[in-house]
Chains A and B, each alone.
Chain A
């Protein structure tokens, strides 16, 4: 049955309309969870507000187990779902640059759009920065090409690397997330309160 678009159940135009509706859901949940505030987001790095960790990992394990069940029930063909390909060098290099951007800017791209949508001027400036950064990549591509394409590993899954089934991998993620939630609550109670 799913994915609806690859199985020809919906037209490409309907797919774009649904992309818009799914986007509304995404933006609504992000903003309702407080992700339009950079000071709330940055709390995860200082322990005064762990909302990022809680929302992110709950969403990750919900989607992971949900998709496993969808696949089990025959509702979705996971072979047709896009798995981000792995290029190890660029995955690490990009992550390091984004991590620095996160602690300096207080947003990531999706959350900055939510902040901008409710009038946060710092979020609008961050979005402006995104355009400059992407332009630096597209213009600098000849210089970055080697790094970008180094160590291709294909559409490899972490469960394949660790040689466990997807179900066991999901269980490990749920266990790690549960531990992280417990730690997050513990840190929040003990850390210095920050007014924002």
Chain B
């Protein structure tokens, strides 16, 4: 690693320390609220609320939306929504302290910004869809599930990583 790389990597905390701290945050969530961490569930709350505002007739007639709204009459007043607002604030604070705030498209020098953004959009769409089918994403299903020995969470975790490793060769130009 060259000097620049060393200097840059110093700015991040030790990954094992980061893992222990993250584990403590996860214990806190379980201790306080009896549940793990999450991210994608908050996106669903926002989507349901938005569709209900834009097309209330549609949500009334759809079994999925009407059931969801019956269980969660105020989708935005949800644990995960407040949690995710915190994630954004926490990420921002860390970025400020480490002097990492900057508008930029991060990509390999071998690809254009445009290509990076197209793949970011496609990846986001797939992750959004997959997280709903799999009942949670890397945070809610994989990490939080593993902490409480959830069989489904661990299956999802292994499938996410196995698929990404299996496809890594085909997308290598984007990253290395």
Q: Measuring CB to CB, which residues of chain A are less than 8 angstroms from any residue of chain B?
A: 2-6, 10, 15-34, 36-39, 42-43, 45-46, 48, 50-51, 54-64, 66-67, 70, 75-76, 78, 80-88, 90-123, 125-138, 141-142, 144, 147-148, 153, 155-161, 166, 169, 173, 181, 192-196
Contact = CB atoms under 8 A, between A and B. Distances in A.
Given A2-B31, A98-B137, A148-B133, 18 more contacts: A5-B34, A23-B87, A23-B89, A24-B93, A28-B90, A32-B12, A48-B176, A56-B138, A59-B18, A101-B123, A103-B168, A104-B123, A105-B119, A107-B124, A132-B125, A137-B133, A153-B152, A157-B149
Nearest to B172: A46
Contacts of B29: 22
A101 B124 contact: yes
Contact of A103 (B5, B108, B171): B171
Interface of B: 1-2, 4-5, 12-13, 15-16, 18-40, 43-44, 46-48, 51, 62-65, 68, 77, 79-80, 82-95, 98, 100-108, 116-117, 119-168, 171-172, 174-176
A6 to B, nearest CB: 5
B91 A30 contact: yes
A42 B123 CA distance: 12
Contact of A84 (B95, B123, B136, B138): B136
Interface class of chain B by DSSP: helix
Nearest to B154: A158
A132 B40 CA distance: 12
Contact of B130 (A27, A98, A135, A156): A98
Interface of A is mostly: helix
Given A22-B83, A166-B149, A81 B30 contact: yes
Interface centre among A62, A104, A108, A141 (most CB of B within 10 A): A104
